[in-house]
Amino acid sequence: MSSKKILRFGLPKGSLQEATIQKMAKAGWNISVNSRSYIPYVDDPEMEIRLIRAQEISRYVEHGYLDCGITGHDWVMENNSDVHEVGEFLFSKATRKPARWVLCVPENSPVKSVKDLQGKRIATEVVNLTKNYLKKHRVKADVEFSWGATEVKAHELVDAIVEVTETGSSLRANKLRIVDELLVSTPRLIANRSAWKDKWKRTKIETIALLLTGALAAEAKVGLKMNIREKDVPTLLKNLPSLRNPTISNLSQRGWVAVETIIDEHVVRELIPALKAAGAEGITEYPLNKVVY
């Protein structure tokens, strides 16, 4: 009998799938998906990947079919899953914004607040979240599960919908107005509670979390290195506060040093001309795979 240790990891199938696989690759795990199989290949003999709908992952983690998985906080709440949350990871498929579950009505609807939905009908994919929200506001309304195209139903079949949005563009395109926000959700790495108590599995899960965090931190940053006269370094650092805690090393050419740092990518376009004006030469910008603090 084999005593090989295996971590069974659930990845979300659907809208988060590609983004998750890309982030896992940056973290160090290359995953390839066969369209005819829900068991992708991963270049780690200690890991087995299962591709499962995000809506279901928290249930499979809770029940122990999966040791851990990545899914939205919304589905953990919708399923009321008893799992250990390891970390939060913001890697939206469209933006850096988290997903929001919002209560919406047609633009011309008389509904101004949730109180106006007393006795009305609401369609949504998150039935439990919606029922809990209504209960909190002491509103009794019929909540029905929607299999999709929920935005269209708001104009003909129901009085309101609870739908997920990132930018709000789809809601505006469908002439819908947001009445209230129920939940803000981001992807989470979650673990089965028994697996989390297992020393080997916990170490493996924590390693994944550490490297995923490093990969995500690196996405918004770049490395920058340059050469500058040693006497100009104090002025450079004084006038360019973006260069926090740079590494400074001597060059073979007397009186010159190399300066290397990691900065937010969005400031580079203003920073490089200023560096040049301050006397820096050989300025090189390079991408990063991971930044682990």
220 or 115, which is more confident: 115
Q: Considering the domain 7-93+187-218 in this protein, what is its CATH number?
A: 3.40.190.10
Looking at residue 1, its pLDDT comes to 43
The tens digit of pLDDT for each residue in 241-278 reads 677 788 999 998 899 999 999 988 888 888 999 999 98
Helices within 64-185 (DSSP H only): 73-79, 127-136, 150-156, 169-173
Residue 140, CB-side half-sphere exposure with 13 Å CA sphere? 1
C-alpha span between 254 and 114 (Å, rounded): 72
The pLDDT score that the predictor gives to residue 230 is 93
Question: Per-residue confidence at 96, pLDDT binned at 50, 70, 90?
Answer: low
Provide the residue ranges of all domains of the chain, joining segments of one domain with +.
Answer: 7-93+187-218, 99-184, 221-287
Beta bridge partners, 70, equal 189
Architecture of the domain defined by 99-184: 3-Layer(aba) Sandwich (3.40)
**Fold match between 7-93+187-218 and 99-184?**
yes
User: Which of 23, 67, 48 lies closest to 219 in space, CA to CA?
Assistant: 23
Contact, 52 vs 13, CB < 8 A?
yes
In this structure, CATH architecture of domain 221-287: 2-Layer Sandwich (3.30)
Residue 3: is its pLDDT beyond 70?
Answer: no
> What confidence tier does 148 reach under pLDDT thresholds 50, 70, 90?
confident
Of 65-74, 143-152, 157-166, 190-199, least confident by mean pLDDT is 143-152
Query: What is residue 260's predicted lDDT score, i.e. its pLDDT?
Result: 93
| pLDDT value at residue 181 | 95
Average pLDDT over the chain reads 90
Helix (H/G/I), strand (E/B), else coil: 289: coil
Strand partners, 52: 12
What are the counts of helices (DSSP H) followed by strands (DSSP E) for the chain? Answer: 10, 16
Task: State the pLDDT confidence band at 7, using cuts at 50, 70 and 90.
Answer: very high
Structure letter (DSSP) for residue 220? T
Strands 31-32 and 41-42, by their bridges, are antiparallel
pLDDT at residue 94 above 50? no
pLDDT band at 4 (very low <50, low <70, confident <90, very high): confident
* Residue 5 confidence (pLDDT): 93
Instruction: Average the pLDDT over 183-205 and give the result.
Output: 97
Provide the pLDDT confidence category of residue 219 given band limits of 50, 70 and 90: confident
Angle between helix 17-27 and 199-219 (nearest 10): 100
User: Is residue 226 a contact partner of residue 283, using CB atoms and an 8 Å limit?
Assistant: yes
Distance (Å, whole) CA 173 – CA 169: 6
Given a contact cutoff of 8 angstroms between Cβ atoms, the answer to whether 25 and 40 are in contact is no
Give 112-126 pLDDT, tens digit per residue: 999 999 999 999 999
Contacts of 160 (CB under 8 A, 6+ apart): 103, 104, 105, 109, 111, 117, 120, 121, 122, 123, 154, 179
Smallest CA-to-CA distance from 100 within 168, 54, 190 is with 168
Handedness of CA 153, 159, 162, 165 (dihedral sign): positive
Nearest-angstrom CA–CA distance, 49 and 187? 17
Q: Is 206 helix (H, G, I), strand (E, B) or coil?
A: helix
Which residue has better confidence, 238 or 100?
100
Model pLDDT, residue 167:
79
Largest CA distance in the chain: 82
Q: Note the pLDDT of residue 93.
A: 43
Q: What angle do CA 256, 260, 264 make, to 5 degrees?
A: 140
Q: Alpha carbon 110 to chain centroid distance?
A: 36
pLDDT digits (tens, 9 = 90+) for 55-92: 999 999 999 999 999 999 999 999 999 999 999 987 65
